[in-house]
Structure formats: C-alpha cells, structure tokens
Amino acid sequence: MRHIISVLMENEAGALARVVGLFAQRGYNIESLNVAPTDDATLSRLTLVTKGEDRVVEQITKHLNKLIDVVKLVDLTEGSHIERELMMVKVRATGAQREEVKRTCDIFRGQIIDVTPTTYTIQVTGNEEKVNAFMDALSGATIMEVVRTGVSGLARGDKTLSL
C-alpha cells in the first residue's frame, strides 16, 4: 500500500541525513522525497512516498517520530488529502510531432515553458497518476529528459501539520 508521509522538522544541518539514513538502515523503501523550508525558516517540510504493509509503515512513522529533529508528522493517506507533483519533460518536437505534442500538452493542461526549433520543454502538475498518464500519452514522441519533484501534499479542510 502506498503512503504519503509528511514531516515537519528542524531546518538544521544533518536532519535530512537522519531521515534518509533511517530508511537505509532499516531497509524501508522511498519512492520519492522532497524537502524545503516552510514559511517559518526554522522548520523544513519533508514529504516522502513509501510502499509497504501497514505494519511496516507503522514502524516507519514510529521511528521517524523518534528522530530528535522531527517535530511532527502525518500519514496523509490516512485521511482525505491533496497531493501534487511537478514534472518537466523535454521532448523532440519537429515536423508533425510538433503539433501532436502541443495538443497532448493542452489536454493535460500542461505548459510549454521552453521552446527551440526542435524541442519543447513541458511543465505538468498533478497527482502522481496524472503525471504518469501524461508520460504515457507522450509515448509516441521522443522524450529527451525528465525531471520530477516527487509528491507534496497536505490534508483537506481545516487539518494542518503545524506547530
């Protein structure tokens, strides 16, 4: 089962290494991970996606909570939540392909953010599923490079992960 764990932690040197080290030491997997400071510069928000049996994920959250730098965390997938990922993809865009790629991009409400006579760089945001679907839809085109941020998310409604 896929889980999105969102962690609020001290914005200190070494804090990220502790989280990543924990996953490596205990053999847990990380599908994606991103981290950046929040509106409060002393805090970082880290979001990671992991897959595992409930029992393993429970251990993951317990061990994350034990890290001294971790202030709070939430498993977003336990409740209703919003998740987004940003992808940038550079594709070969020449001849008939040029129009086709543009159409696909529009369908997915993507934006072309860089253009050359032979390439497009497209930005797509959405949940993991949509981003994957866009990649599949591009399968006819020549993909030159892909970069994804990994999933970020928060709970719907009034619920927040804050101090």
Q: Which is nearer to other proteins, 40 or 114 (CB)?
A: 40
CB 119 within 8 Å of CB 90:
yes
d(CA 84, CA 142): 25
CB 110 within 8 Å of CB 87:
no
Using CB under 8 A, which of the segments 12-20, 74-82, 96-104, 133-141 binds other proteins?
Answer: 12-20
**Cβ partners under 8 Å of residue 147, min gap 6:** 87, 88, 89
CA atoms within 13 A on the CB side of 24: 6
Q: Which letter does DSSP use for residue 27 in this model?
A: T
Residue 41 binds to other proteins (criterion: CB under 8 A): no
- Residue 150's region, left for phi above 0, alpha for psi from -120 to 50, else beta, is left
Shortest distance in whole angstroms from residue 6 CB to other proteins: 15
Residue 27 binds to other proteins (criterion: CB under 8 A): no
> Residues for the chain: how many in total?
163
Residue 161 binds to other proteins (criterion: CB under 8 A): no
Binding residue for other proteins (CB under 8 A) from 1, 17, 36, 143? 17
Residue 16 binds to other proteins (criterion: CB under 8 A): no
Count residues binding other proteins (CB under 8 A): 20
Q: Which is nearer to other proteins, 73 or 89 (CB)?
A: 73
Q: Which is nearer to other proteins, 66 or 103 (CB)?
A: 66
**Amino acid sitting at position 118:** T
d(CA 146, CA 90): 6
Binding residues among 49-108 for other proteins as defined by CB under 8 A:
55, 58-59, 62-63, 65-66, 68-71
d(CA 73, CA 76): 9
Q: Which is nearer to other proteins, 7 or 76 (CB)?
A: 7
Residues of this chain that bind other proteins (CB under 8 A): 9-10, 13-14, 17-18, 21, 25, 55, 58-59, 62-63, 65-66, 68-71, 163
